Chains A and B, each alone.
Chain A
Amino acid sequence: MGKKILISFFIVILFFLINYTNNKATEYLMKNQPKWYFLNFHSYKNINHVLGTAFGLRALTSDFYYISFLQYYGDLRNAKTQYKDLANYFNDATDADPGFEFVYLFGSAILAFNLGRYDEAVKLIEKGLSYNPKMWKLRIYLGAIAYKEKNDKEKYIKFLEDAIKYEDHPAILERLLGNIYEQIKSADEAAKYWVSVYKTTKDKETKLHAYERLMYMIKNKMIKNIDEIIK
């Protein structure tokens, strides 16, 4: 009998403890995620999102959206519509995993610098900054966008150059900058840049692109100091 009372007492204590740790940890968790991370009354519209949450695979859901985006962007038929749904993919991916920082970078770079859709790009950047204000790379993009809008090429380029100094910038920026160099700088300088991209880039496609540009320039005899540039 005494044993029973003791056990009941013990369970009650455990019950309080578990409630305490549960509340504390939940609080911690909520504090650490942006509001949009949690399901709300509109979440049912996006079934992937709900399923991802229920099965505990939000990060993977986010990856799924990213791959869907790549397919969408890679499909030339969508070029006709100017990739009008593009921003949705970035939005879904960052909803599922707000920590997928590369999507903010890549997404805003494509939207702003490739497609010239500044509003959508800024919106995405703002979402990223509201999630993590320390993503200063996004601020650089913001600056670049501002100058591009004003057509201030020099400052725009300056911002892009800053942006690619940091690791884990999207490789698309490297290509973008090279193409601009070809237009505004001397062929030699552009070639020099392509060589450095060829040597340092982590992206196979960009490497190939740099190589092709170089070959193109060599074929057309645009470069003066070939030997110096290609050592």
Chain B
Amino acid sequence: MRRILAVAEYIFKQNFRNKILNVLIIFAILSIGFSLLISELAKEVEIRMTKDFGLFSISIFAFLTLVLSLTIQLFEETELKTISMVIVKPITRAEFIIGKFFGIILTIFMNILFMFIILMVVIKIRGGDPWDLKLFLSVAGTFLSLSILTSVALFLSVITTSIPGCIIFLFFTYILGHLTVHLKNLQYKITNQLVYKIIDILYIMVPNLELFNLKDKIHTNFSLFTFDYILLIISYSIIYILIMLILTVIIFNKKEF
């Protein structure tokens, strides 16, 4: 346990010391400022637009946080090669991977939290209600989907050592993850058996990120924001992450340095 925490703390520290993340925060502030500008255009729905733009910025910057933090880690492992000195320590490789996972999601969590607080302040200033449960759940959904993407990123990073390859793949996972529900919805109209099967496979393998995309459904007034649904997607994310981490550890155990 202590070792897992040590790895997580180390990665978290490293991410925060890298000025790239500070730049991210500045970007977040700018983009929320931009959301204010946009809401000037459409006064009657300015709260809505402030929320939409803010939530969008949060998810994009959180994704960027993941990408950068992954880059930093991969760089350290492939270029600095400090990893060989870590691996010979009395830490199991599983502990190392889990620590890494928590280090990255802790970074993402802090960033999201920071941006969320700014967004709440902005909404308050604009006269909206920042203590909206839906708003909170949308942000939580973003965090869950990024936790899943983090586990996917770790998996990708053990099967390839190419940093750009890893990022491009992650990006496609993000896109596909938002489309599988739509594909599944179209499936019954498809007669070609092969395409039908491919959709099934994609639907199972690719993380179903659209489930966590509550920010796009925040304005519906009946809906998804029920206890049952939230419980379902939390279970889904935990199980998906578990599977990914197990596979990652299995491959990582075979890896040579």
Contacts and interface: CB of A to CB of B under 8 A. Distances in A.
Interface of A: 7, 10-11, 14-15, 17-19, 21-22, 24-26, 28-30, 32-33, 38-41, 53-60, 62-63, 66-67, 70, 97-102, 106, 132, 134, 170-171, 202-205
B44 A203 contact: yes
Interface string B200-239: 0001100011110101111111111000110011011001
B137 interface: no
Interface stretch (B48-56, B69-77, B103-111, B162-170): B48-56
A189 B11 CA distance: 70
Contacts of B182: 38-39, 53
Nearest to A97: B219
**What does DSSP make chain B's interface, helix, strand, loop or mixed?**
helix
Given A41-B186, A54-B178, A28 B229 contact: yes
Interface residues of B, number: 53
Given A21-B236, A56-B59, A60-B56, A30 B181 contact: yes
**What are the 3 closest A-B residue pairs judged by CB atoms, nearest first?**
A99-B220, A99-B219, A21-B236
Nearest to B229: A28
B185 A25 contact: no
Contacts of B204: 18-19, 22
Contacts of B217: 32-33, 59, 99
Contacts of B64: none
A66 B235 contact: no
Given A24-B232, A25-B211, A25-B233, 16 more contacts: A11-B247, A14-B243, A19-B204, A28-B229, A29-B211, A29-B229, A32-B220, A32-B223, A39-B182, A54-B178, A55-B178, A56-B213, A56-B216, A59-B216, A100-B219, A102-B48
A70 B233 contact: no
25 contacts: A14-B242, A14-B243, A17-B235, A18-B239, A22-B208, A25-B211, A25-B229, A25-B232, A25-B236, A30-B185, A32-B224, A33-B217, A40-B186, A41-B189, A55-B174, A55-B178, A56-B210, A62-B52, A63-B48, A63-B53, A66-B45, A99-B220, A134-B221, A203-B43, A205-B43
B38 interface: yes
